[in-house]
Chains A and B, each alone.
Chain A
Amino acid sequence: MNAFLATIARDLRLATRRGGEAALTLGFFVVAITLFPFGVGPGPELLGRIAAGIIWVTALLAATVSFDRLFRADMEDGTLELLALQPLPLELVVLAKAIAHWLMTGLAVTLLAPLMGLMLNLPGDAYLPLIAGLLIGTPSLSLLGGVGAALVLGARRGGALIGLLVLPLFLPALIFGVSAVEAVLIGMPLAPHLLILAALLAVALPVGAFGGAAALRLALE
């Protein structure tokens, strides 16, 4: 447990020292969202209707651009091979790195989402389901994205490839994240949607840990 926490803490510390790991993702998130009113027009009614969708889709894209950094630096400076040789199983190393990644991207995006909702005229009732959905849904993005990031480590043009690999896998989280908001707006219960998002997370946990570790072992050979 100590080693697991140390790995999370190290990634967080490195991110803050490098400055702007989280800021970069958040910057992308905000800028990309700002594009939508220019694309579809500033009408508050239309924006309010598609606000939750915009925020969710942009959150997926923001996560996707951040994955390339997840393992690459550690791969290049030899840290990854050392991590693979520690007593801590590589599966747990992958989990630890995914948690650190989520804290810097998923959680950061979730915290910023209400502000974006305000700018997009998101209806008042929609804030709770949006935030709750992002909170439960985004960890599975970090986990599945970690597999993609690990798979492209040895590949040419890896960064561009990640989006193609992982975005289709993000579809269920997007569908249920947005439908949670829509359900609340038409007076339906919120809990089932959040439970489904939690179930998706429960699937993403083993897939992310074992898939990511298998891909890392391959990259280290």
Chain B
Amino acid sequence: MTAETQPAGLVADHLTCERGGRTLFAELCFAVAPGGALLLTGPNGSGKTSLMRVLSGLLPPRAGRVLWQGKDTAEEPAPWRRALAWLGHDNAIKPQLSVSENLAFWARLTPAARGVDEALEEVGIGHLADLPAAMLSAGQRRRLALARLGLTRGGCWLMDEPTVTLDTASLARLSAMIARHRADGGLAVIASHDALDLPGAQSLDLSGFAVAP
């Protein structure tokens, strides 16, 4: 699969990533079309997080390109940044701000398509909107971080271990949220240990791309 045959969506074109002198993966290629999803698996240290950071643009790859709608994201970062919604390990929550203030800030920074209240309802913490974020439990904090992705419509979600600290009910809500996002024409790349209900998703085991040192 190359950029020429699959221009829409997200394409990884022969990505090679090196961290601390060690090659984590080499010549990695995949494509995710709008409405699609990709589940990244692999043991710890296989480079899931590094791949997510390479896709986002935070970490420049050793070689290869990341294409969004057929355009190199390193050369034209603007459309990619507008489409991208990132969920990292850390929740980026300020305990001093209220739940809705936390989310409202990101809504002003990204072209938000949906309201703050709507996004909070979707992850099931709408009733906590006016509480200081410091009061939230670990699972509620993760849901607040997920609500940030819920602000967007379409585009690409990059989710690194989204299920961490989530309970069963929240897992089901997350699956529904991803399904809604895909139905809206968005796509998602998800690195997760947990089994998420992702109908029709591709799956990629990163241990297959490891390079013997």
Contacts and interface: CB of A to CB of B under 8 A. Distances in A.
Do chains A and B directly touch (beta carbons under 8 Å) in the complex?
A: yes
Interface of A: 2-3, 6-7, 10, 13-14, 17-18, 76-79, 81-88, 220-221
A87 B110 contact: yes
B94 to A, nearest CB: 6
B108 A81 contact: no
Given A78-B92, A81-B88, A85-B84, A10 B59 contact: no
A76 B86 CA distance: 16
Interface pairs A-B: 8 shortest CB-CB:
A78-B90, A17-B96, A6-B108, A78-B92, A79-B92, A87-B81, A3-B109, A86-B109
A6 B101 CA distance: 11
B108 to A, nearest CB: 4
Given A6-B108, A18-B96, A79-B94, 16 more contacts: A13-B97, A13-B101, A14-B94, A77-B91, A77-B94, A79-B92, A81-B58, A82-B86, A82-B88, A85-B56, A85-B81, A86-B109, A86-B110, A87-B82, A220-B58, A221-B60
Q: Is the interface of B mostly helix, strand, loop or mixed?
A: loop
Contacts of B195: none
B114 interface: no
B97 A77 contact: no
Nearest to B94: A14
21 contacts: A6-B108, A6-B109, A13-B97, A13-B101, A76-B90, A77-B90, A77-B92, A78-B89, A78-B90, A79-B92, A81-B58, A81-B88, A82-B88, A82-B92, A82-B106, A83-B109, A85-B57, A85-B86, A86-B110, A87-B81, A88-B109
Given A221-B59, A221-B60, A87 B78 contact: yes
A86 B57 CA distance: 11
Contacts of B101: 13
A86 B93 CA distance: 16
Nearest to B91: A78
Contacts of B58: 81, 84-85, 220-221
A193 B50 CA distance: 50
A38 B179 CA distance: 69
Interface residues of B, number: 27
Interface string B90-128: 111110110001000110111100000000000000000
B99 to A, nearest CB: 14
B88 to A, nearest CB: 5
A127 B109 CA distance: 41
Contact of B109 (A7, A14, A76, A77): A7
A77 B96 CA distance: 13
A81 B150 CA distance: 18
Contacts of B91: 77-78
B30 to A, nearest CB: 20
A81 B86 contact: yes
A6 B53 CA distance: 25
Given A87-B82, A220-B58, A77 B110 contact: no
A10 B92 contact: no
Contacts of A88: 109
Contacts of A220: 58
Contacts of A79: 92, 94
A51 B58 CA distance: 47
Contact of B97 (A6, A17, A85): A17
Nearest to A86: B109
Contacts of A13: 97, 101
Contacts of A17: 96-97
Nearest to B80: A85
Contacts of B82: 87
A19 to B, nearest CB: 9
A14 B133 CA distance: 12
Contacts of A6: 105, 108-109
Given A86-B110, A220-B58, A14 B92 contact: no
